[in-house]
Structure 1
Amino acid sequence: MSLVKKFATVGGATLGSRVFGFVRETFMAAALGTGPVADAFNTAFRLPNTFRRLFAEGAFNAAFVPLFAKEIEARGMEGARRFSEEVFGVLFTVLLFLTIAMELAMPFIVRELIAPGFADDPAKFASTVTFATIMFPYLACMSLAAMMAGMLNSLHRYFAAAIAPVFLNVILIGVLAYAWYSGQDPVAVGYGLSWGVMAAGLVQLAIVWIAVRNAGIKIGFRRPRLTANVRRLLVLALPAAITGGITQINLLINTNIASAQEGAVSSLVYADRIYQLPLGVVGIAVATVLLPELSRALRGGNLNEAANLQNRSVEFTLFLTLPAAAALLVMSEPIVRLLFERGKFSPEATVVVGHILAIYGLGLPAFVLIKAFIPGFFAREDTRTPMIFAAISVVVNVSLAVTLFPPLGASGIATAEIVAGWVNALLLFTTLLWRGHWGRDIPLLTRVPRLVIAAAIMAAALHYAIEWLAFPLSSAAPLAVRAATVCGLVAAAMAIYFASAFGLGGASLGMIRRSLKRRAAPAAAPTTGEGPDSP
């Protein structure tokens, strides 16, 4: 299967999850708006979600995948199964004790770490503590699921792990639909959503567990022991967890800061949901597929193939991400109005969330590039360097957020996030270049500026079109008219961008054909010649 087809497999499943996520957020916006229950639920959900990204997805995708792949090559599937059981025993035990400790300490954690601004509102504080207590076991389910997803990715079975998150949104949509049908009050909706998150964790774990069994690996429970393999995993996983979860670290810190202003937490979450669509479909797909592919090429000594994988991945991500960033920058308010403005979500909230979303658009290329750069370190079992850069970006984010939040509110926090993202991306890229792990690629160097110009042409056309179509995009227009107008603008923008990209030479049919047909070189046959796209 070609690299782009693998991206499409993961990206397509992620797209399905994000589409259902939009539906979920639309229902939630109508039911809760940016009110106190919305703030409480979004803040409570941020806690297990942050731990999941820090200690599950980031750590296991970075550390577990290369080690599991080595076990398959060195000792076959039986060796890989034993390694998985060793890890499973330690992980399950740690998660059990962590969950118990966090449940007991939840009031302190919410008051002192996550949302100190809620302490002045007893009802909001109590709701946040209760929601977080109900939802936190979701972390254990998703951490175990992330381990099994890493196994599936190493076996080049991407679909089950990518499709599992859809069920979180499906379950929460069902909860919201029932709440609307039965006329529940906001607090009851918050309780229903919290229990829905817990149920979704169990469903997602069951999906990947069944997929692993179907792949021929049956995992049993072993007494937790720090074997050599487990110790190696922990050495790699600790910095990898911090690095892979850098966005979540920043979001958790920003939630703490934003809790001082009514509605700020929910406004950031609604904007984040929209911008996560291109980030998830493109960035996460590339990161998921690139790490095992790059690890295999480096283990086989295929340095040219490894360089080619990195360059083509960046080219592919920018080809799709730059127009998305330009669209978010120019038409954020019409998008937010169409998706969320109904029920308890007011026109004033649309303006605030739209402004935040436009700022996020400026940072989208950086966050996608981070996803493409980090596998270049992790595949070489270097998790320390990205961790250092992640720490630097956290310092940048916190410093700017504290400075910009008082005058700018939630928009100041969004600005801090995107500046920190660009700092992280630049540090990663310059280090790869300095170490000689990023070869000079003429096709990439010539295409990227042309793609930027094509995206700018598209953004200018959208700007004038939005001014001309002011009424059909306004709150006064019927929903069907707004939807048709936004869809028409998106279709026209895509046509303009692709015509400009191909016309300027930023993309070509030959490039796409080569990407669709390209297969990784066999690991046992190191290459010394030029890559397929070399000049």
Structure 2
Amino acid sequence: MSRMLRASAIMAAGTMVSRVTGFVRTIILAAAIGTGLMGDAYQAAYTIPYSILDLLILGVLSSVVVPMIVRAQQQDPDGGRAYEQRLLTIATVALTVVAVLAVLAAPLLIDLYTNWRPGSREFDVAVSLARFILPQLAFFGVGAIAGAILNTRDRFAAPMWAPVLNNLVVIGVLLAYIVVSAGRGDISKVTTSELALLGLGTTAGIVAQALVLIVALKRAGFSFRLRFDVRNARLGEMGRAGIWTIGYVVVTQLGLVLTTNLATAAGAAVKDHGLTPYNFAFQLFQLPYGIIGVSVITAMLPRMSRAVGEGRLDDVRSEFGSGVRLVTSVMVPISLLLMVLGPAITVLIFGHGASSPENAVYIGNVLQVFGLALVPFSIFQLLLRVFYSFGDTRTPVFVGAGTTAVNAVLMLVAYYTLPAAYVVMGLAFAYAVAYALGAIVAWTLASRRVQGLGGWAVGSALTRMYIAALPTAVVALGAVWGVQELFGALSLVNSLIILAVGGGLGGALYLLVAHRMRIPEVTSIVGMVAGRVGR
């Protein structure tokens, strides 16, 4: 576990800075365009390239591409170098073509992802933004392939730090938008030049991120040259392995399309209660997983793939067990804090500029519901990597399809039964329930594959973590109640006090209690931090 902890810590440091700068970016975005229709139009346009990338490449990176690169490095006479060059060539050409086609199809894509009427102001603004944002497809995809190659060479720093530059570029663009825009969050006043600034500035951030990864790849000893001998690119093998992963991504993207349609419909019915609050809350919910979970997965998957290739199932179980305990030791207290401190967090982050404190409170209510999903979602993602390490991309499709189907049914129930003001909260609750059930099913199937995942040991560890985190939740609840009793409704100052007491003191209390309870993962983290501070 110490090896995984060290590798994860290196990546988590870069990811932490990336997420912090990403937070600053989101704060400024909320201040610039608000949480109404202007915000929803930007969010809809911004969602599309990521959805396309998921369909084409990101969904198969960890499940297919990384294991195949590792295999080429182990088996090919040149250590897989030619294979990597072919892969990067194909990605560059294909994604450039896709980016051009996507720009041309922008009106159709916005019509697919929203329930807005073509010709309406919000629809036209979203289409304009999409045309400026969609060119980033080519650069983001190439950067993702470069990052995957770096990861297989145990070069984790650049992929984790490159997004920082992306965030800094976009932060500068958003500040410029605030300065030059007249209406800020008023969709009826925004001009074409202001939309160009927002859209092209967003794309410029991705271009900078891709360039950093390409430079890092060159410094790692990779010399790129175009290779069009696709017969040796193993596309058939990749297609057979990736078809199921693409199926999984298609299923999840159908769920995303339903989510964006329902959320934009809710936002049209009740101002500031639509897609933007959902996306902002989702970004905050994903932050802990992005820092810890992704770092652990990135370090864990190549080692599990090698262990499977060499028939070492004990090492697969050990890697997974260490990873899931390490991730949940952080996710458990954070999930409780999100459920208690959600509105205080979002008022501090979003309650200014074009977004009022009242709008920010609603984002916080959605975040509280998402807090329920943090632990099951993280475990679900770790479990999928067990299948991927075996080259099994089929089982995750069925698990993902079931999870998405449950999510879709529950979202429709929420949309048709809840008042419009509560629909987005209902969508978040549907997400939490679906991933809890999905994690149970995935665990059962993965356990059969590796002849046991140590369920009792993990369950016992989780129970101890929740016990250790209970005092944290009590302190956070006390802070919320006390501050609101003394000072009234949430404001920027009140939220800061609540977070300092409930979050800061509560988090420190969890570390102390967990350390005293001798929870190994927390003890390792505390020891590593103490050792670094003592140097």
Which one of 372, 395, 405 corresponds to residue 395 of structure 1? Answer: 405
Which one of 259, 266, 278 corresponds to residue 261 of structure 1? Answer: 266
Higher RCO, Cα 8 Å, sep 6+? 1
Distance change in 2, residues 1:515/1:307 (3 Å): farther
Q: Distance in 2 between matches of 1:473 and 1:55?
A: 51
Residue in 2 that maps onto 1:527: none
Deviation for aligned residue 1:228: 6.0
Q: Distance in 2 between matches of 1:168 and 1:455?
A: 35
Residue in 2 that maps onto 1:429: 443
CA contact (8 A) 1:56 1:142 kept: no
Secondary structure at the counterpart of residue 119 of structure 1:
coil
Q: Distance in 2 between matches of 1:246 and 1:367?
A: 17
Deviation for aligned residue 1:243: 3.9
CA contact (8 A) 1:462 1:493 kept: yes
Q: Distance in 1 between matches of 2:459 and 2:237?
A: 38
Work out the percentage of aligned pairs sharing the same amino acid: 25
Q: Distance in 2 between matches of 1:290 and 1:395?
A: 29
Q: Distance in 2 between matches of 1:23 and 1:474?
A: 27
Secondary structure at the counterpart of residue 10 of structure 2:
helix
Q: Distance in 2 between matches of 1:73 and 1:436?
A: 23
Distance change in 2, residues 1:465/1:246 (3 Å): farther
Deviation for aligned residue 1:183: 4.7
Q: Larger deviation: 326-335 or 102-111?
A: 102-111
Which residue identity does 1:256 align to in structure 2?
N
CA contact (8 A) 1:472 1:485 kept: no
Q: Distance in 2 between matches of 1:181 and 1:472?
A: 37
Alignment of 1:400-419 (within 5 A): 400-406=410-416, 407=418, 408-419=422-433
Distance change in 2, residues 1:472/1:133 (3 Å): farther
Q: Distance in 2 between matches of 1:314 and 1:151?
A: 25
CA contact (8 A) 1:44 1:131 kept: yes
Q: Verify: 1:129 aligned to 2:136, yes or no.
A: no
Deviation for aligned residue 1:224: 6.1
Q: Which runs of 5+ in 1 are unaligned?
A: 517-535
Residue in 1 that maps onto 2:218: 213
Q: Distance in 2 between matches of 1:178 and 1:20?
A: 17
Which residue identity does 1:498 align to in structure 2?
L
Residue in 1 that maps onto 2:206: 201
Which one of 504, 509, 516 corresponds to residue 496 of structure 1? Answer: 509
Q: Distance in 1 between matches of 2:341 and 2:390?
A: 40
Q: Distance in 1 between matches of 2:262 and 2:404?
A: 14
CA contact (8 A) 1:137 1:198 kept: yes
Deviation for aligned residue 1:247: 6.0
Which one of 323, 326, 348 corresponds to residue 338 of structure 1? Answer: 348
Residue in 1 that maps onto 2:60: 59
CA contact (8 A) 1:63 1:236 kept: yes
Distance change in 2, residues 1:471/1:210 (3 Å): farther
Deviation for aligned residue 1:309: 0.7
CA contact (8 A) 2:476 2:498 kept: no
TM-score by length of structure 1 reads: 0.89
Alignment of 1:110-509 (within 5 A): 110-111=110-111, 113-115=112-114, 117-119=115-117, 122-186=120-184, 187-188=190-191, 189-223=194-228, 225-227=230-232, 229-243=234-248, 250-262=255-267, 263=272, 264-406=274-416, 407=418, 408-440=422-454, 443-470=457-484, 479=492, 482-507=495-520
Deviation for aligned residue 1:363: 0.2
Q: Distance in 2 between matches of 1:304 and 1:476?
A: 51
Which residue identity does 2:87 align to in structure 1?
V
Distance change in 2, residues 1:133/1:463 (3 Å): same
Secondary structure at the counterpart of residue 373 of structure 2:
helix
Which residue identity does 1:382 align to in structure 2?
D
Residue in 1 that maps onto 2:95: 95
CA contact (8 A) 1:141 1:201 kept: yes
CA contact (8 A) 2:55 2:249 kept: yes
Q: How many pairs were matched up?
A: 512
CA contact (8 A) 1:9 1:158 kept: yes
Which residue identity does 2:450 align to in structure 1?
G
Q: Larger deviation: 47-56 or 337-346?
A: 47-56
Residue in 1 that maps onto 2:532: none
Deviations 1:420-457 (A, max 9, x none): 22222222111011233434376534322111222233
CA contact (8 A) 1:473 1:486 kept: no
Q: Larger deviation: 4-13 or 297-306?
A: 297-306
